[in-house]
């Protein structure tokens, strides 16, 4: 008697793999899927910016992409050790290229506050842990692995696939703006994927609640709060102390919150959240979008703002980032500065911000100044200061459209990969290097291509930054299918 054979399709295999990955208490680097091992290797190349040293990643990636059949360029910048990496997989040229852009640099760390070496790429308890795991070496690993897998499959392509590992995204003059001015032909494309929107998991069920795809970024603007006083010997303090005056002004800013300000994308985003939420959040999201009743709007704002990400999306935000006062231990300085960093909804002017803060502080001895010539930041180099000022003066660019083949493919395969989730456009709460393309009329869509929880998100730019291995696996499947949808010959 012939035994019965049981078959399962690839969707069932993927589901089984994800369950096993989530349930595994410990996962060594040798046992981890290739995309997780790849991310671990990327994290081990320390590209904390400053100084960046992104060439470490470029030199690591070059032989891998060459062996897979890509044309490779390493674009050196004037700063030693800082390079952009570009790999192109040729198609038949029927259509313009699709670009995958991911930044190689990461922010620095407070090593003593980590439970593991932040640059060891530790794989433990179902996570890859290390600086950049979320922002954005995790995305770089997924994008790169997807492109490499497609190259190795020998699929015929109607368009080139360009992979870009960027330098200086975390604040510097040699970012994609610099690259686009000098080597535009190498990164010109029909549309691009970059960092941006989130795939958000429920903390308890681990089900994906929504997939947000960013079509625009908030702008970063800096103002200087400058308090004036009498400079004198510290043994004879006077009432008009500049530092105390600045402290009082900052206390007012700290107790203040800007009003909700939604655009078309954020209205659709919050409506989608209402559609997938339970009461009372469901009604609160709808009240926020409607904005008709001031009392309901205030209550909705208070409840929704318990989530720091959602609080940031719905308004202009204010964060003090640097203080600068004094030059000797026995001298009371005549002025004291604080740099305020604003992340603003596109369309907000710096004049509006100055008027808003000046009215709030309400002190004639405190000026609110545009940071046009020098940020009050002794850490930043003159080049970084100039880059920050230039970024603040960028004109607003239109949101990327929802009608492009790439957006439609992202929405389709996000839904197929995470069937329980809603897919929505989104205004990214921070900034990215997408401006180099959006300002030239090329649509850019942002996504962190892996499901994460709100708790995971708090670790981004923080301590013990991590990404679930299972999320890397499902994100790789999604990005690969998106690329095949828009690039492969059908």
Name, of 1-5, 283-287, 380-384, the range with top average pLDDT. 283-287
Q: pLDDT value at position 341?
A: 94
More confident residue, 404 or 12: 404
pLDDT tens digits along 134-178: 999 999 999 999 999 999 999 999 999 999 999 999 878 999 999
Banded pLDDT at 3 (limits 50, 70, 90) = very low
Contact partners, residue 97, CB within 8 Å, separation at least 6: 88, 91, 159, 160, 161, 162, 188, 189, 190
Q: Rounded to two decimals, what is the model's pTM?
A: 0.84
Q: pLDDT value at position 448?
A: 98
Domains of the chain by start residue, with CATH: 10-216+399-487 (3.40.630.10), 219-258+316-344+348-392 (3.30.70.360)
Q: pLDDT value at position 374?
A: 45
Q: pLDDT value at position 188?
A: 98
Q: pLDDT value at position 96?
A: 98
Q: pLDDT value at position 220?
A: 87
pLDDT tens digits along 415-472: 999 999 999 999 999 889 999 999 999 999 999 999 999 899 999 999 999 999 999 9
Q: pLDDT value at position 468?
A: 97
Residues 334 and 219: their CA atoms lie apart, in Å, by 32
Percent of the chain with pLDDT over 70: 89
pLDDT tens digits along 335-392: 999 999 999 998 899 999 999 999 999 999 999 999 864 444 444 555 555 655 565 5
Q: pLDDT value at position 431?
A: 85
Residues 181 and 438: their CA atoms lie apart, in Å, by 14
pLDDT tens digits along 99-123: 999 999 999 999 999 999 999 999 9
Q: Is 263's pLDDT higher than 70?
A: yes
């Amino acid at each position: 008697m012939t035994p019965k054979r049981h078959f399962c399709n690839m969707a069932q295999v993927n589901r089984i793999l994800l369950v096993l990955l989530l349930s595994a208490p410990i996962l060594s680097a040798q046992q981890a899927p290739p995309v997780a091992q790849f991310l671990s290797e990327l994290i081990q190349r320390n590209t904390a910016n400053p100084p960046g040293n992104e060439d470490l990643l470029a030199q690591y990636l070059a032989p891998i992409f060459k062996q897979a059949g890509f044309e490779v360029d390493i674009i050196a910048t004037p700063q030693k050790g800082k390079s952009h990496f570009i790999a192109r997989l040729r198609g038949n040229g029927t259509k313009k290229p699709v670009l995958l852009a991911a930044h190689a640099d990461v922010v620095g760390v407070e090593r003593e506050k980590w439970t593991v070496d932040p640059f060891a790429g530790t794989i433990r308890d179902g996570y890859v842990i290390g600086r950049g795991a979320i922002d954005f070496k995790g995305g770089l690993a997924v994008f790169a692995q997807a492109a490499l897998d497609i190259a190795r499959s020998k699929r015929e392509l109607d368009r080139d696939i360009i992979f870009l590992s960027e330098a200086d995204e975390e604040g510097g003059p040699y970012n994609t703006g610099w690259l686009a001015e000098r080597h535009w032909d190498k990164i010109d494309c029909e549309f691009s994927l970059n960092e941006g929107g989130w795939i958000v998991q429920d903390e308890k069920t681990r089900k994906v609640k929504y997939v947000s795809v960013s079509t625009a970024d908030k702008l970063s603007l800096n103002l200087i709060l400058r308090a004036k006083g009498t400079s004198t010997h510290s043994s004879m303090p006077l009432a008009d102390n500049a530092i105390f005056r600045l402290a009082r002004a900052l206390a007012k800013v700290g107790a203040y919150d800007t009003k909700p300000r939604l655009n078309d994308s954020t209205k659709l985003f919050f409506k989608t959240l209402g559609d997938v939420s339970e009461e009372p959040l469901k009604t609160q999201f709808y009240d926020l979008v409607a904005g008709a009743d001031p009392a309901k709007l205030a209550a909705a704002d208070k409840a929704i703002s318990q989530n720091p990400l959602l609080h940031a999306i719905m308004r202009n935000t204010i964060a003090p980032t640097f203080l600068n006062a004094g030059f000797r231990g026995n001298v009371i300085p005549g002025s004291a500065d604080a740099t305020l960093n604003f992340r603003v909804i596109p369309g907000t002017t710096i004049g509006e911000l100055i008027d808003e803060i000046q009215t709030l502080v309400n002190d004639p001895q405190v000026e609110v100044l545009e940071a046009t010539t020098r940020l009050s930041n002794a850490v930043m180099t003159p080049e970084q200061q100039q880059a920050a000022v230039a970024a603040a003066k960028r004109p607003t660019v239109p949101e990327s459209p929802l009608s492009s083949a790439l957006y439609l493919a992202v929405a389709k395969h996000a839904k197929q990969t995470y069937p329980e989730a809603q897919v929505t456009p989104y205004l990214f709460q921070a900034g990215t290097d997408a401006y180099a393309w959006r300002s030239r009329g090329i649509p850019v869509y942002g996504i962190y291509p892996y499901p994460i929880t709100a708790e995971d998100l708090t670790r981004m730019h923080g301590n013990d930054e991590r990404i679930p291995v299972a999320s890397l696996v499902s994100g790789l499947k999604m990005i690969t299918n998106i690329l095949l949808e828009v690039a492969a010959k059908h």
